[in-house]
Amino acid sequence: MGIITTSKSGRPVLWTSLVAVLLTGAIVAMYLAPTEQTMGDVQRVMYVHIAVAWLALLGFVAMAACGLAYLLSRNLWWDQWSMATCEIGWLCSTLTLVTGSLWAHAAWGTWWTWDPRLVSSFILWAFYSGNLILRSGLDDGPQRARLSAVLVIIGVADVPLVVMATRWFRGIHPVSPAMEPSMRYVLLASMVGLTAIMTLLLVRRRTQLQHESLVMQLQMQADEN
């Protein structure tokens, strides 16, 4: 199933608009946003880094909420949302570590250091990855949903650690990068654009999972008959 469906639903227009906004934001970030005096052009990676980090945190909280809702209702509808969120969140978490490493190499002269913010972000990525591995190893839907829900509810405790690590612990990661007002506008545009794109990907992936579940049910009914 493709990401873009027929034009009757109007989704291609929406996708085109969002991609145009994202490309415009990228051009503004690369060529029109002010250049940071100390780091130069390398600082521009922050526009992506902060946006995907925000989405990784938001995704894990949403995934934990879906997991809790499944445990209370035993409705696999919630697990479909949790799985779709996990896949999109894992992508954002991975991009957070990659872009953070690029920035760290330019700012600190190393790709990685055991800074509290970096460690807690890596733990979040590990929970995302562990959830995907758990799901890939189980075929039973209810059992997979139950164990996944427990794992993400435990892992959501890491989210406040990521957010507050620079305030609670001594490290070299900045609490909040200093930016001119024009830089903040570019960052806001990047966050809005990436959030919209990832949200659409999430909805499309959840729809695909729903269709896969319906196909499996039909196959089981056909085998029984």
| pLDDT tens, residue by residue, 203-225 | 989 988 888 878 877 777 776 76
Give the model confidence (pLDDT) of 110-137 as tens digits. Answer: 888 888 989 999 999 999 999 999 999 8
The single-letter code of the amino acid at 159 is V
Residue 54 or residue 27, greater confidence: 54
Nearest Cα neighbor of 213 from 117, 68, 75 is: 75
Distance, in Å, from the CA atom of 32 to the CA atom of 174, rounded to the nearest integer, reads 24
Average pLDDT over residues 181-186: 76
* pLDDT at res. 3: 40
The CB density around residue 153, as the number of other CB atoms within 10 Å, is: 15
Least confident of 2-11, 98-107, 153-162: 2-11
* pLDDT at res. 225: 66
Can you give the pTM of this predicted structure?
0.82
The CB density around residue 146, as the number of other CB atoms within 10 Å, is: 17
* pLDDT at res. 106: 80
The residue to which tokens 């190499």 are assigned: 105
Distance of alpha carbon 26 from its chain centroid, rounded? 19
pLDDT band at residue 35 using 50, 70 and 90 as cut-offs? low
Residue 65 has pLDDT above 90, yes or no: yes
Q: Provide the b/e sequence for 167-178 (b: ≥16 CB within 10 Å).
A: eeeebebeeebe
The CB density around residue 195, as the number of other CB atoms within 10 Å, is: 16
Nearest Cα neighbor of 186 from 57, 40, 21 is: 21
* pLDDT at res. 53: 94
Alpha-carbon distances of 52 from 55, 190, 209, rounded to whole Å: 5, 9, 23
All structural domains of the chain with their residue ranges = 46-219
pLDDT band at residue 2 using 50, 70 and 90 as cut-offs? very low
Check: CB of residue 59 under 8 Å from CB of residue 84.
no
Share of the chain above pLDDT 70, in %: 77
Residues whose CB falls within 8 Å of the CB of residue 57, separated by 6 or more in sequence, listed in order: 124, 159, 162, 163
Distance, in Å, from the CA atom of 179 to the CA atom of 172, rounded to the nearest integer, reads 18
* pLDDT at res. 58: 95
Distance, in Å, from the CA atom of 135 to the CA atom of 98, rounded to the nearest integer, reads 24
